[in-house]
Structure 1
Amino acid sequence: MSGKPKLHYFNGRGRMESIRWLLAAAGVEVCLYGSLLFQQVPMVEIDGMKMVQTRAIGNYIAMKYNLYGKDLKERALIDMYVEAVIDLNELLMTHILQPADKKEQHLATIVDKATNRYFPVYEKVLKDHGQDFLVGNHFSRADVQLLETLLMVEEIKPDILAKFPLLQSFKARISNIPTIKKFLQPGSQRKPPLQEKDLPKVMKIFH
């Protein structure tokens, strides 16, 4: 046994949150956070490796815990859907960092891109193949990370899924997968949204 993965990051969401989601979806318990002694974070200690780069970590976890499709074609689709989610996620993560006079416009950009660029694609995918999951009929990394992003967008605009009934059903369905349901309960490794009061500490860590 190689022991539980150890996560190195500040005690907040950021780029580590998607990794927490994946590990939770796989039913993997993690160690308490290590100290920030490394110049590059997030970093995950797993299987004797010290891994950096969020995409590389996510791919490794997805492959290790059977969340990466059954063949090359499915993995390509998963990568495609995840990359789009990451683009939207980056906008969401930087919203709190916007100056007060830019926040409203930044929120409008998030809502516009979510409702006109990203969500229609996922709605169509679910409609076209009529399955419970985004790729094949198997729970994958793409489902995990789309749910994460849907919930994050709803935090800043609760009615954003009003015009996307299949995404609403998807959200409810994936949220009820036992490992995900557990992660959504209070006391899990899931982190709350970053607050304004936390920004000085975060900026100090990353500078």
Structure 2
Amino acid sequence: MSGKVVLYYFDGRGKMESIRWLLAVAGVEFEEVYLTTREEYEKLVNDGALLFHQVPLVEMDGMKLVQSKAIMNYIAGKYNLYGKDLKERVMIDMYAEAARDIMDMIMMLPFIPPETVKSELEKVQVKAKVRTLPAFEKALGASQFLVGNQLSCADVNFLEACLMLEEELPTILSSFPNIQAFQKRMEAIPTINKFLQPGSQRKPVPDEVHVRIVREVLSHIYE
């Protein structure tokens, strides 16, 4: 195994996108191997690379890492994005989990029947406006970061969640001035600004081709 960071996943967002975000923010270069066939996935399983027969898979520091939360926590810890002590870490986890809950809901929209998308998007909107965004708005009224006095993975996850929300619900942040100011500050950070530019390794909104490939490769899940 080389010293390079290598990501094994689809050429799309999914559970890997937040990992891409953290690596990019940390300034870590990475390569990607895209799964396009069922056979490629089965080879990873048969080779013993997928501990629980699940992707994402990240080769890093001589390890084959699986389980997206574990991977993100490792990256955050290694690159000083995980607070200064245990109390900060648990707060970071709380905010990060809340952001990922919203992202998970949005992530599933391309995979559900078209006739249910509108109702599911309404659920996203209600949860975000009533429960999630007010809590973040309050936290960001006291500090420029969600936890402590430095950038953490929770900030990165929340920025990603905000951008995903705006893709689906363009005006949803209009009544949250602290979040809007936070978003501008975050987007000005050089590594984040670079990741947001065209041609970066950030993935676009999933299209029909991506959905079809995921369904074919993970046919045991979508049968």
The bucket for the TM-score relative to the shorter chain is: over 0.9
Q: CA deviation at 1:196?
A: 2.6
Matched, 1:59 2:73: yes
Q: Which of 180, 192, 201 pairs up with 1:189? A: 201
Equivalent residue number for residue 97 of structure 2:
83
Aligned to 1:157: 169
**Equivalent residue, structure 1, for 2:151:** 139
| TM-superposed deviation, 1:29 | 0.4
What are the superposed Cα offsets for residues 138-157 of structure 1, whole Å, 9 maximum, x if unpaired? 00100000000100010011
8 Å CA contact retained: 1:6, 1:34: no
Structure 1 window deviating more from structure 2 (2-11 vs 40-49): it is 2-11
- Consecutive unaligned residues in structure 2, runs of 5 or more: 36-40, 45-52
State yes or no: 1:23 paired with 2:23.
yes
CA distance in 2, matches of 1:148, 1:100: 24
- Cα deviation per residue 1:68-107 (whole Å; 9 max; x = unaligned)? 0011111010011011111111101001112121111011
| 1:7-64 Cα shifts (integer Å, max 9, x gaps) | 0001000000000000001000002326544332000000000000000000000000
Tell me the residue number matched to 1:175: 187
RMSD between aligned alpha carbons?
A: 1.2
- Is the 2:92–2:152 Cα contact (8 Å) retained in structure 1? yes
Contact 2:8–2:57 at 8 Å: present in 1 too? yes
Q: Which secondary structure state, in structure 2, belongs to the residue aligned with residue 66 of structure 1? A: coil
Percent identity (aligned): 53
Structure 1 counterpart of 2:175, which letter?
A: K
TM-score by length of structure 1 reads 0.95
The amino acid of 1:8's aligned partner reads Y
- Give me the whole-angstrom Cα distance separating, in 1, the residues matched to 2:127 and 2:208: 24
Matches within 5 A, 1:79-158: 79-127=93-141, 129=142, 131-158=143-170
Paired residues of 2:5 and 2:29 also in contact (CA < 8 A):
yes
The separation in 2 between residues aligned to 1:11 and 1:198, in whole angstroms, is: 7
Paired position in structure 2 for 1:199 = 211
What is the TM-score when the length of structure 2 is the normalising length? 0.88
The number of aligned residues is 204
